């Protein structure tokens, strides 16, 4: 959910596809088969995914979800292929170059613009007459991850976001309550530091970690069309947000963990032990903490608000149909089924948070701790949807690290960042 295709592999693939006349903006991106709902379908499709085989995800998919779809469409066959997440990108690159992509892919949200630019995805907003009806049922943030140059190349399949998770005992020991605003973070920092504890633990300085602070403070990373970062990432509100993190680090309110490179107590473990009073993380934090620290009561609150409110970042996966599919009608029906309440509810029982707004109440019945995350999804936003995100995120990470360490002023760090980022955005 936070990683991206190796830039070198993408570059090679883009050149190869362009030479074949199927690169970004090619035929597959502009002419789509019409895929209306309710068509009589037959035959077989292949579905690549990276659901975890270690839990119940793959079992539910293969034993419950797919059989239910096949029962509703007698004579069809869905071949599910599990690909480990850290191998999926390379497998997609290789398959795209060799014209051997599957029919349907469960794609990380940050991959969709990259694949769309390469011309290997069907623009579903063009091909599916009922696209708007399907899209309107989902949360806005996850849906936006499928947008590239005015077209939607997929639909959200499962989602997540983050909230502030806190240790009530650690906060009480310092005489403070869970911070509700950025001003609270600044005011409470010295009280925890005086006890040798950290008010806030963040594990990195990439977009997944720092964009929520920028957005909540009223800043932006790019313009609305994702064409430039100048005036946005290095604008006053964005600089102010990163300055706050840099100040907290210098006050020893944030541990060195934020600078990456490993080492130190992991965020969830430090929270449970009381070393960290708060962290900002997702619903996946609950099961391991509950297992490892059964006597610790994990509590949640919204990300502290800045001048623009409390805005967090969207994670998750999308479902896309490839241009190479020889059975797009069946692929589209399978996509619709995966967006239906039956499939969404079944997969939610494995820890996959539904993208359907109508299922919010049912999600909380399945797992009560989903509640604050569902609330956060109402305002959560995607990282800038751009094929260049992998390189851009790396630039952001390095420049923010320089600022937080105090090696360069925050303004200069972000000025230098936009000088590197703008040429990448200009390539589309």
Question: Residue 97 pLDDT > 90, yes or no?
Answer: no
CA dihedral 116, 117, 119, 125 (to 10 degrees): 40
Chain mean pLDDT for the chain:
91
Q: Where are the beta strands (DSSP E) in 104-224?
A: 104-108, 147-148, 151-152, 155-160, 163-166, 198-201
Average pLDDT over residues 363-386: 96
Domains of the chain: 7-159+316-377 (3.40.190.10), 163-313+388-426 (3.40.190.10)
Q: Give the torsion sign (CA, 328, 331, 333, 335).
A: negative
Average pLDDT over residues 198-217: 97
pLDDT band at 93 (very low <50, low <70, confident <90, very high): confident
pLDDT the model gives residue 37: 96
Average pLDDT over residues 311-326: 97
CA dihedral 236, 427, 14, 319 (to 10 degrees): 50
pLDDT tens string 60-72: 999 999 999 999 9
Distance CA 104, CA 333 (A): 11
Tokens 């599919």: give the residue.
325
pLDDT tens string 103-143: 999 999 999 999 999 899 999 999 999 999 999 999 999 99
Helix (H, G, I), strand (E, B) or coil at 216: helix
- Our measurement of the distance from residue 425's CA atom to the centroid of its chain's CA atoms, rounded to an integer in Å, reads 19
Distance CA 146, CA 382 (A): 10
Question: Residue 52 pLDDT > 70, yes or no?
Answer: yes
pLDDT the model gives residue 32: 62
Give the CA distances from residue 97 to residues 11, 101, 254, 391, 408, in Å, rounded to whole numbers and listed in that order.
Answer: 11, 9, 44, 21, 42
- Our measurement of the distance from residue 30's CA atom to the centroid of its chain's CA atoms, rounded to an integer in Å, reads 26
Q: Is the pTM of this model over 0.75?
A: yes
pLDDT band at 3 (very low <50, low <70, confident <90, very high): very low
């Amino acid at each position: 959910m936070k990683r991206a295709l190796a830039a070198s592999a993408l570059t090679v693939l883009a050149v190869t596809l362009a030479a074949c006349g199927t690169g970004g903006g090619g035929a597959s991106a502009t002419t789509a088969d019409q895929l209306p709902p309710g068509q009589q379908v037959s035959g077989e499709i292949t579905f690549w995914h990276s659901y975890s085989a270690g839990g119940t995800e793959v079992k539910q998919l293969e034993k419950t979800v797919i059989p239910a779809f096949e029962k509703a469409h007698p004579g069809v066959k869905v071949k599910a292929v599990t690909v480990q997440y850290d191998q999926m990108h390379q497998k997609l690159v290789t398959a795209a170059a060799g014209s051997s992509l599957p029919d349907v892919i469960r794609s990380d949200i940050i991959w969709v613009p990259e694949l769309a630019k390469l011309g290997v995805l069907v623009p579903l907003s063009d091909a599916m007459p009922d696209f708007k009806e399907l899209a309107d049922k989902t949360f806005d943030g996850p849906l936006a991850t499928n947008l590239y140059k005015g077209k939607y190349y997929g639909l959200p399949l499962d989602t997540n976001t983050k909230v502030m998770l806190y240790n009530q005992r650690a906060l009480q020991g310092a005489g403070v309550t869970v911070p509700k605003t950025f001003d609270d973070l600044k005011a409470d920092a010295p009280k925890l530091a005086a006890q040798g504890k950290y008010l806030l633990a963040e594990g990195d300085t990439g977009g997944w970690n720092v964009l929520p602070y920028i957005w909540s403070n009223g800043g932006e990373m790019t313009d609305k069309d994702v064409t430039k970062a100048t005036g946005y990432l290095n604008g006053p509100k964005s600089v102010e947000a990163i300055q706050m993190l840099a100040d907290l680090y210098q006050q020893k309110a944030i541990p060195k963990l934020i600078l990456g490179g490993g080492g130190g107590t992991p965020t969830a473990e430090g929270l449970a032990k009381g070393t960290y009073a708060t962290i900002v993380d997702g619903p996946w934090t609950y099961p391991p903490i509950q297992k490892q620290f059964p006597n610790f009561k994990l509590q949640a609150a919204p990300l502290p608000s800045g001048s623009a409110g409390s805005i967090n970042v969207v994670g998750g996966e999308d479902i896309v149909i490839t241009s190479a599919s020889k059975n797009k009608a069946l692929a589209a029906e399978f996509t619709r089924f995966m967006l239906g309440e039956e499939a969404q509810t079944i997969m939610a029982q494995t820890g996959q948070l539904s993208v359907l707004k109508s299922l919010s109440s049912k999600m909380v019945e399945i797992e009560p701790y989903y509640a604050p995350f569902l609330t956060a999804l109402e305002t959560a936003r995607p990282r800038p949807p751009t094929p260049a995100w992998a390189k851009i995120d790396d630039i952001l990470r390095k420049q923010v690290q320089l600022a937080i360490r105090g090696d360069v002023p925050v303004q200069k760090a972000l000025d230098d960042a936009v000088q590197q980022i703008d040429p990448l955005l200009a390539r589309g």
